[in-house]
Structure 1
Amino acid sequence: MVFEHVANAWCLELTNSVPDRNDTDRDWLGDADTAGAWAASLGFPLAHPLADEERRALVDLRETIFVIFRAHVDGASVTPRTLRELTREHARGLERHGYVADGGAFRRDWPRAWHGSALRAAFASSAVELMTGPRLDRVKQCPGCGWLFVDTSKNRSRRWCSMDMCGGRDKALRHYRRQRAEARG
């Protein structure tokens, strides 16, 4: 299975683990094998397949992060409860995977082989970093599939998740409509 990674932030890759936000029947976290392959494709090799409760907790975090960034994109407010959910997951992650000294610098103490709580910690940390950092104003949502992404284009003009996916489809549809209008008119 091929997984698209176009978000430019781990936390938004998690929100995009639903291949199409307009059709939520498909879910890359829906079963242990697909979830493991998806995690590995992001650079998170799993120590063991995610148990059902680990996948459910990851899905809960995914939806919390989605609500926060979707609200930001829409200019809507986020409930304090939703922010507390993310804060709690971030704090748990800091307790389990804090910082270590590494050659005169410091880094997060991430595992070599990942498990459910480490994944949640990484995604929660990414969300907090994006929420409080300079790239927040670059978060956008694809009008085609509903995926969230950080627009890293120089002129901030990125519109779709990717040209290969929704951008190409949109261009083809516009071309088709132009052709039909010319034929009628």
Structure 2
Amino acid sequence: MVFEHVANAWCLELANSVPDRHDADRDWLTDAETAGAWADSLGFALADPLADAERTALIDLRETIFAVFAAHVAATSVDPRALRELTSEHARGLERHGYIADGGAFRRDWPSVWDGPALRAAFASSAVELMTDPRLDRVKQCPGCGWLFVDTSKNRSRRWCSMEMCGGRDKALRHYRRQRAEARG
């Protein structure tokens, strides 16, 4: 299975683990095998398949992260409960995976093999970092599929999750409509 990763932030990759936010029939986290392959595609090698409770907790975190950043993009108020949930998950992650000294610098003490709580800690930490990062004003939502992404283009002009997915489809649809309008006269 091929997973698209276009968000430029771990937390938004989790939010995008539903292939189409407008048609949520598919979900990369609903079964252990697909969830494991999805996590592996992001570089998170799981020690064991995620249990049902771990996947449910990850899905809950995904929806919290999506709610926070989608509200930010839409310039609407963010649900304070979502921020509390995200903060709590981040704090649990800091308790388990704090910081270590590494060659004159400091870094998070992430595991080499991941489990459900470590995954949630990584995604919650990514969300907290993005919420306080200057790149926050570059977070956008694709009008085609609803995915969230950090626009890293120089002129901040990125509109879609990717040209291969929604951008090409949108351009083809506009071309078709133009051709039809010209044919009508």
TM-score by length of 1: 0.99
Q: Distance in 2 between matches of 1:165 and 1:153?
A: 17
Partner of residue 100, structure 1: 100
Amino acid at match of 1:84: R
| 1:25 Cα deviation after fit | 1.1
Runs of 4+ in structure 1 off by over 3 angstroms are none
Q: Distance in 1 between matches of 2:109 and 2:147?
A: 30
TM-score by length of 2: 0.99
Partner of residue 129, structure 1: 129
Amino acid at match of 1:4: E
SS in 2 for 1:135: helix
Q: Distance in 2 between matches of 1:171 and 1:65?
A: 29
Partner of residue 168, structure 1: 168
Number of aligned pairs?
185
Q: Distance in 1 between matches of 2:95 and 2:49?
A: 23
> Where do residues 7-26 of structure 1 align in structure 2 (5 Å cutoff)?
7-26=7-26
Gaps of at least 5 residues in structure 2 are none
Partner of residue 157, structure 1: 157
Partner of residue 44, structure 2: 44
Gaps of at least 5 residues in structure 1 are none
Q: Distance in 1 between matches of 2:6 and 2:67?
A: 19
Q: Greater shift after overlay, 1-10 or 75-84?
A: 75-84
| 1:38 Cα deviation after fit | 0.2
SS in 2 for 1:106: strand
Alpha-carbon RMSD: 0.5
SS in 1 for 2:169: helix
